[in-house]
A and B are shown apart, each in its own frame.
Chain A
């Protein structure tokens, strides 16, 4: 299932959408298909156009070019209040003159739902975000995280076909965030809502989304499952943006079937990597994830890639430790070691020499 949902025609189709502000393209020729019931995450650095893209889907900005189709229907002439879309705003946009409960019930009142149905649905969704106690407060009397939860509840309560969440959990603490994430996935499974979520938290995107898109200055540079994006980043930017990575710039010196040797500045031996056949002399970047580097005190036998360096820093992170190792060329390399291994094997301490090795499948060869 390429779309992660129920297959078939995509629920949301974005075709070559462009939005310019004062000549500068905030969203540039973006095309995306999102399936029904999919949990889609948008990732990208600040200012890359994520909010602008969502605002076009909700109908607050008119695309300068391209089309947006929801369930096969062109949205160009459909005003925001008639779209089957609810958006949670990055700035929350809670109505300051209404209580939490009437904020959340606002959308249901617009649909003229019966009073008691509104009351039960509002209190249910408020309990979901742990805001039931504060139902009668005004937004001005809430903390930032509480306001965010109310905004989330207000977007959720109508159970729209398409829900747009602009950084829905940025102000929540870790525990609440995990809980909310779990609830979102549950709601999605139960009601079959299609989610598009903007987030800066990669872990959030990786664990909840069925697919992620990475944006860079208005363009979508890669779309795929979290695993694909992490394991096979399409560009140097994606590799660098998603997760920690060691990047080596170099040139292909030799290419055999399915494998390349890349000479990297500062290393005297070429790095062996798997990858598409490339002509010798092609400039490439190699991306190696820190957890794919094996760190040993003694020289390992038969490793295909092996370098030596000095441990400069060890950061303890609970389940893992991150080592910073300086190569002879002064280039810093990061390696993570599960602490269970670290405590079992011979210790490598700060200031000591250590051996770094990795398999031929560890580096990803990037040409752009």
Chain B
């Protein structure tokens, strides 16, 4: 009895220890850096505790970095841009992913494994390479434009690359599997006799979808949207490779602060504010959705 309880505690404790060590501790370090000031040297920021102007040892935390982020319109615009792209691409993922997940969940049992496999197949190739491949497809003399010109559908190449369209496309393409998998898991659980019951009570299939299937797949929709939306907000590779000057996203700004400007404190402050602005509302929403659903 006693042993069982200790064992259960250990099982719970290990992942939490892992999280503490590799998530909370680094985050605390980032948080600490965000209150410091840049300095020339290694590391490139001032210590948090040290001699102040009077020579006394004291806490040297400053909110200057956060103030800078708040004042400079560049950061706010990049942040809003990120939200816009992430939200738009999430909607695209949902619109494409839902029918796909539904189709797989309703396919004959023997086929489902194969179809799921095809969804995960792109993961076998490096993410970076797949995004690069899109450049080859989309650029002015890329495959798509050449094909369209060859077919005589267009005269001049279409501007497909380095604009908002390419970013939406890249985000949707890259994150689609993360939308499909939770949706599939939810839809596969749906008892088909519920749809029979709906039909039996006079509900045609199209209406049964809105009355039964969709409400019962809401947890899957929520999970899928969160799973794609959050990393999309911080996405850096796709806007960098496929985007243009007007598709600045916060992840790219963060990267530039960190590596180009070597301004670790501002980069850290950006990272912290992103977390606060994105993750916490999402977590609350998730909790709310989770609580609303009767088990």
Contacts and interface: CB of A to CB of B under 8 A. Distances in A.
Interface string B187-215: 00001011011111111110100011001
B231 to A, nearest CB: 29
Interface residues of B, number: 21
A89 B295 contact: no
A107 B201 contact: yes
A91 B200 CA distance: 14
Contacts of A95: 194, 197-198, 212, 216
Contacts of A350: none
B191 A86 contact: no
A77 to B, nearest CB: 15
Interface residues of A, number: 26
B294 interface: yes
A89 B199 contact: no
A94 B295 CA distance: 14
Contact of B193 (A81, A86, A91): A91
Interface in A81-129: 81-82, 85-87, 89, 91, 93-97, 106-107, 110-111
A95 B213 CA distance: 10
A244 B78 CA distance: 82
A233 to B, nearest CB: 34
Contact of B216 (A60, A96, A107, A110): A96
Nearest to B203: A110
A86 B201 contact: yes
A80 B204 CA distance: 8
B202 A110 contact: yes
A158 B200 CA distance: 11
A80 B203 CA distance: 9
Given A80-B196, A97-B216, A140 B201 contact: no
B200 A110 contact: no
Contact of A81 (B194, B203, B216): B203
Interface in B239-295: 293-295
A73 interface: no
Nearest to B204: A81
Interface of B: 191, 193-194, 196-205, 207, 211-212, 215-216, 293-295
